[in-house]
Structure formats: C-alpha cells, structure tokens
Amino acid sequence: MTDAHFGGSGDGLFARERATVAPGAVHIPVWLTPEYQKSIVEECDRWASGPVPARTPTLPGGRRMSVRQVCLGWHWAPYRYTRTAGGVPVLPLPRWLTELGRAAVVDAFGVGTRFEADAALVNFYDGGATMGMHQDKDEHTDAPVVSLSLGDACRFRFGNTVDRGRPYRDIELRSGDLFVFGGPSRLAYHGVPKVHPDTADPAIGIRTGRINITLRSTGLSSSATPTT
Ligand SMILES: O=C(O)CCC(=O)C(=O)O
Ligand SMILES: [Fe+2]
C-alpha cells in the first residue's frame, strides 16, 4: 500500500466527468482502480475488527447514527476528537492514507496545494443506513475533507453552508470516486439520503453495502500523531 493506483477510465459512451459541484467542491469519478479499491476494502475490514471495533456512534442528544464507524488517528466521539475510545488507543493513520489524501487534494485543486490528514473516519453503510445532513466542523483547521467511496453507489447530497435545506445538489458517488470539499464549501451541509443496494462490483470484495472514508486534518497536536 505504498503507491496510489488511480483509475481514470470513464463508463464508455456515458463517461462520468469530473465536476466542480460548488466552489471548492470537486467530484472526480473513477479515481481509484478496482484493484486498489479491493486492497482498501481489505484494510477497512481489518480496522473494523479492532482494537477499537466499529460501532454505531450515539449523538449527544441520544440519537444513534445508522452507519457503523471506525476511526484512525483520532477517534470521533461526537462531537470532538479523542486519542482513545473506551480507554483503548485508536489505530494510527497509516502513511499510505495520508499520501493518498495528499494526492487527492492535488488532483482536486492543483499542484502546490498541501494537505496533511491526521484522522480518517471509515463509515460502513449496511442495510438501510443513511447519513443526515450535517457539517464537518469538529476540525480545528480549514483544510479540505477528502472522501473516498467504495462498494454500493449512493445519492450524495451536497448543500449550502447556511442550513440543511435547499439549495443543494444530489450527485451519485460510485465505488472508486473521489469527492473533495474545501475553501468556500468546507462547511457545506452534506449527507447520504440513499444507498443503492447491490450496485457494487463484487470484485472489490464488499459483499454488501458501501464504505466511505473521509480524511481530515484535525489541527490537534500533530507532534503526538502516530503514523506507521
Ligand atoms: O458517506 C459519505 O459519503 C459522507 C460521509 C460524511 O459526510 C462524514 O463521514 O462526515
Ligand atoms: Fe460529513
């Protein structure tokens, strides 16, 4: 897992195009090859089994999210980042993922842009899991968020920075797609209202459902950030 392996092929006649969905928000379809997706899926399965097993986070108001989640680098304990979960240290963020995040931001925004992820949130959408409209605002930097999608396709809703309502745009995120949001879109509300069952290519090794990885820069004491 040292080199990024990028896709780049379209879907024949109906090739999906790279799109700027809002200022600072870029969708790049088919960013990861199926082989690279498969190796990431294998890692996700490994991370989900511990030492901090994937769990369905409970929000401070008592509501339970429907995704299962495992974190690397920093644990997201809604709504803050911690080094441990239930007294157990969170797995380090592997260097290849930091490098992948860097490559993603360069592809999205151009050479010379810097990005140093120190946390990853890995979400497993099984069954009817969805994610409500929210902002990613627990990070103490204005660095972009890098999102990688694996498995079933989904409807991804990308909205405005004011509230959960319109205007928003719905786009389809498929396995291997990259979505990066930063700059004026960094605090845009977004969510996943629908996962399309059984749309994944079985070759990437997800039996059912969708995985999303977001790479983030928390802005929390980087000197203590474990890396492998
Ligand atoms: O699953 C997705 O595409 C988005 C995930 C997300 O918004 C988050 O983890 O904060
Ligand atoms: Fe989010």
The ipTM of this complex is 0.99
**123 is a domain residue:** yes
**CA-to-CA separations, 187 to 65, 125, 133, 198, in angstroms, rounded:** 20, 23, 12, 31
Residue 174 Cβ inside 6 Å of ligand 1? The answer reads no
How many CA atoms, within 13 angstroms, populate the side-chain half-sphere of residue 191?
Answer: 19
Substitution candidate for ligand 1 out of 147, 177, 181 with most atoms within 8 A of CB = 147
Residue 28 Cβ inside 6 Å of ligand 1? The answer reads no
What's the pLDDT at 49? 96
For residue 212, which atom of ligand 1 is closest to its CA?
Answer: 1
**124 is a domain residue:** yes
**67 is a domain residue:** yes
CB 85 within 8 A of CB 69: no
CATH for 207: 2.60.120.590
Q: Please compute the mean of the pLDDT values over residues 204-227 and round it to a whole number.
A: 83
Q: Which range of residues forms the domain containing residue 138?
A: 33-220
Q: How far is the CA of 226 from the centre of ligand 2 (A)?
A: 23
Please list, in sequence order, all residues whose beta carbon lies within 8 angstroms of the beta carbon of residue 105, skipping any fewer than 6 positions away. 113, 114, 115, 144, 146, 180, 182
Flag the least confident range among 122-126, 199-203, 204-208: 204-208
What's the pLDDT at 162? 98
CB 120 within 8 A of CB 93: yes
Confidence of residue 8 (pLDDT cuts 50, 70, 90): low
Q: Which of 26, 203, 220 is nearest to 141 (CA)?
A: 220
What's the pLDDT at 20? 98
Q: How far is the CA of 212 from the centre of ligand 1 (A)?
A: 6
Average pLDDT of every residue of the chain: 92
Question: For the purposes of burial, counting CB atoms within 10 Å of the CB of 15, is it exposed (0-12), middle (13-18) or buried (19 or more)?
Answer: exposed
Q: How far is the CA of 13 from the centre of ligand 1 (A)?
A: 29
pTM: 0.94
CB 124 within 8 A of CB 68: yes
Q: What SS3 state is found at 45?
A: helix
pLDDT at 225 over 60: no
**140 is a domain residue:** yes
Please tell me the number of the ligand nearest to residue 65's CA.
1
**227 is a domain residue:** no
CB 48 within 8 A of CB 69: no
What's the pLDDT at 13? 61
**4 is a domain residue:** no
pLDDT at 5 over 90: no
**92 is a domain residue:** yes
What's the pLDDT at 137? 98
Q: What SS3 state is found at 147?
A: strand
For residue 149, which atom of ligand 1 is closest to its CA?
Answer: 3
- Please indicate whether residue 76 or residue 223 has the higher confidence score (pLDDT): 76
pLDDT of 106-115, one tens digit each?
Answer: 999 998 889 9
What's the pLDDT at 227? 42
- 140-161 as b/e: b if 16+ CB within 10 A: eeebbbbbbbbbbbbebbbbbe
Q: How many domains does the chain have?
A: 1
**20 is a domain residue:** no
Ligand 1, atom 5, lies closest to the CA of 212
Q: Please compute the mean of the pLDDT values over residues 205-211 and round it to a whole number.
A: 92
Flag the least confident range among 2-11, 54-63, 152-161: 2-11
What's the pLDDT at 42? 97
pLDDT of 80-97, one tens digit each?
Answer: 999 999 999 999 999 999
pLDDT at 224 over 90: no
Q: Which of 127, 136, 146 is nearest to 189 (CA)?
A: 136
- Whole-number Å distance between alpha carbons of 228 and 42: 17
Confidence of residue 226 (pLDDT cuts 50, 70, 90): very low
Quick count: other Cβ atoms within 10 Å of Cβ 168? 17
Residue 131 Cβ inside 6 Å of ligand 1? The answer reads yes
For residue 173, which atom of ligand 1 is closest to its CA?
Answer: 3
Confidence of residue 2 (pLDDT cuts 50, 70, 90): very low
- 181-203 as b/e: b if 16+ CB within 10 A: bbeebbebbbbbeebeeeebeee
Q: How far is the CA of 105 from the centre of ligand 1 (A)?
A: 17
